[in-house]
A and B are shown apart, each in its own frame.
Chain A
């Protein structure tokens, strides 16, 4: 009887943790998107007012960004300075590949960011500004969707995991 109880507790905690892990993904995404937006706003300032070249600008904003984006912009800056890549696009994409695959961002987010790398540094200030504005709009949409998703799914996954664990326990006992 005791053994059964211990096994049951294991099952329930395992399922519960799964649920919490899944719900964390939804909780982290809006935050990361928000941080991305503030990092990009700094980048915009660097570009439009400071006319700082991208490698330096990335480095500067990395220092002011949160963990995920710190890693990402640092790597992008290193990539650009390394001389291996021949366009911003390549350096940007490789940084995405390396640093953003294991984050809470979903595929459309990453694709959007990838497209943004395409135009970065490729035109004059005015044009860059327009692209930034457009990107903020798109990012905002993603953010809204992320918040919505969070509302819908965060609690759901948490309780779902727990309840499923309980159900399995009851069925098996």
Chain B
């Protein structure tokens, strides 16, 4: 388990939150929405390998 990943996700989260705020303030709600979505997707991609690992370990646990 890599603690770095947690920090990265946290950092991205903060940045996307700020971006979101700035964009909404300048009246671009759609763009703000898109950035949030993109952020979520990027984070999903980052954690997808971990989730698959989790599934694998659950699988092996149930299989034995």
The reply to whether B22 and A155 contact each other, CB–CB distance below 8 Å, is: yes
Size category of the binding interface on chain B: 10 to 19
Closest chain A CB from B18 CB (angstroms): 6
The reply to whether B26 and A153 contact each other, CB–CB distance below 8 Å, is: yes
The reply to whether B19 and A170 contact each other, CB–CB distance below 8 Å, is: no
Considering residues A152, A163, A167, which has the most beta carbons from chain B within 10 angstroms of its beta carbon?
A167
Chain A CB within 8 A of B8 CB: yes
* Chain A hits for B26, CB < 8 A: 152-153, 155-156
B46's closest neighbor in chain A, by CB?
A171
Chain A CB within 8 A of B40 CB: no
Hey, what's the 0/1 contact readout for A3-28 against B, CB within 8 Å counting as 1? 00000000000000000000000000
A123 to B46, CA, bound (A): 68
Contact of B22 among A156, A166, A170 (CB under 8 A): A156
Closest chain A CB from B42 CB (angstroms): 6
A164 to B8, CA, bound (A): 14
Q: How many interface residues does A have (CB within 8 Å)?
A: 13
Considering residues A156, A164, A173, which has the most beta carbons from chain B within 10 angstroms of its beta carbon?
A156
A164 to B25, CA, bound (A): 17
Q: Which residues of chain B in 7-48 are interfacial with respect to chain A, using CB atoms and an 8 Å cutoff? A: 8, 11-12, 15-16, 18-19, 22-23, 25-28, 42, 46
Residues of B within 8 A of A (CB): 4, 8, 11-12, 15-16, 18-19, 22-23, 25-28, 42, 46
Other A-B pairs beyond A167-B12, A171-B46, 20, CB < 8 Å: A152-B27, A153-B26, A155-B26, A156-B22, A156-B23, A156-B25, A156-B26, A160-B23, A163-B15, A163-B19, A163-B22, A164-B19, A166-B15, A167-B19, A170-B12, A171-B8, A171-B12, A171-B42, A173-B4, A173-B8
Residues of A within 8 A of B (CB): 152-153, 155-156, 159-160, 163-164, 166-167, 170-171, 173
Sample of 25 A–B contacts (CB below 8 Å): A153-B26, A156-B22, A156-B23, A156-B25, A156-B26, A156-B28, A159-B18, A159-B22, A160-B19, A160-B22, A160-B23, A163-B15, A163-B18, A163-B22, A164-B19, A167-B12, A167-B15, A167-B19, A170-B11, A170-B15, A171-B8, A171-B12, A171-B42, A171-B46, A173-B4
